[in-house]
């Protein structure tokens, strides 16, 4: 067993988003979300429960999962507002992708982005964009979630 260490250079957890299918972390128009403070990949399998008169315990079956990726990030102007170049995620920026309710493709790399890097990917919509700044926190920081449409898939970067 080997732990997944993300503390070393080249081993950072990285989330990239695009308005098109992602083939690599450096594909044209992809945003690699900078300055993530944390990231959580949630796979909340649903359960339907019922009781029967002939049993002293509840019955249960699994139903569709609610999947979500959530994080907190320190914002920069280009990532948040977009570069304005092209009809891509990088051109639109996080704010416009959320505000316009654009479907995004995402890929969460677990430890680095090079060949052989493991990832989980899917599609979804940005929600929960709530930038905040204060005297004690002079940089804009925002929670951000991706409400996943459908299932996650996993793979290894080739």
| pLDDT tens for each residue of 97-125 | 999 999 999 999 998 888 889 999 999 99
Strand partners, 126: 146
Residues above pLDDT 70, as percent of the chain: 100
Domain that holds residue 18: 14-156
User: pTM of whole model > 0.75?
Assistant: yes
- Nearest 10 degrees: Cα torsion 108, 78, 139, 102: -50
CATH value at residue 35: 2.40.30
> Is 113 part of any domain?
yes
Does residue 28 lie within any of the structural domains? Answer: yes
Does residue 125 lie within any of the structural domains? yes
Residues facing residue 1 across a β-bridge: none
Q: Is residue 2 domain-resident?
A: no
């Amino acid at each position: 067993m080997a732990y997944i260490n993300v503390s070393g250079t080249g081993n950072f957890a990285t989330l990239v988003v695009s308005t098109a299918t992602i083939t690599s972390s450096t594909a044209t128009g992809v945003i690699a979300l900078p300055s993530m403070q944390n990231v959580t990949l949630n796979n909340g399998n649903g359960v339907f429960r019922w009781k029967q008169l002939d049993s002293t315990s509840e019955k249960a079956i699994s139903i569709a999962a609610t999947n979500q990726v959530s994080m907190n990030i320190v914002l920069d102007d280009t990532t948040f507002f977009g570069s304005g170049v092209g009809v891509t995620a990088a051109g639109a920026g996080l704010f416009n992708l959320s505000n316009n309710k654009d479907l995004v493709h995402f890929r969460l790399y677990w430890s680095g982005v090079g060949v052989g890097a493991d990832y989980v990917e899917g599609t979804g919509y940005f929600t929960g964009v709530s930038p905040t700044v204060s005297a004690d926190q002079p940089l804009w920081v925002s929670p951000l979630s991706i409400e996943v449409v459908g299932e996650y898939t996993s793979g290894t970067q080739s």
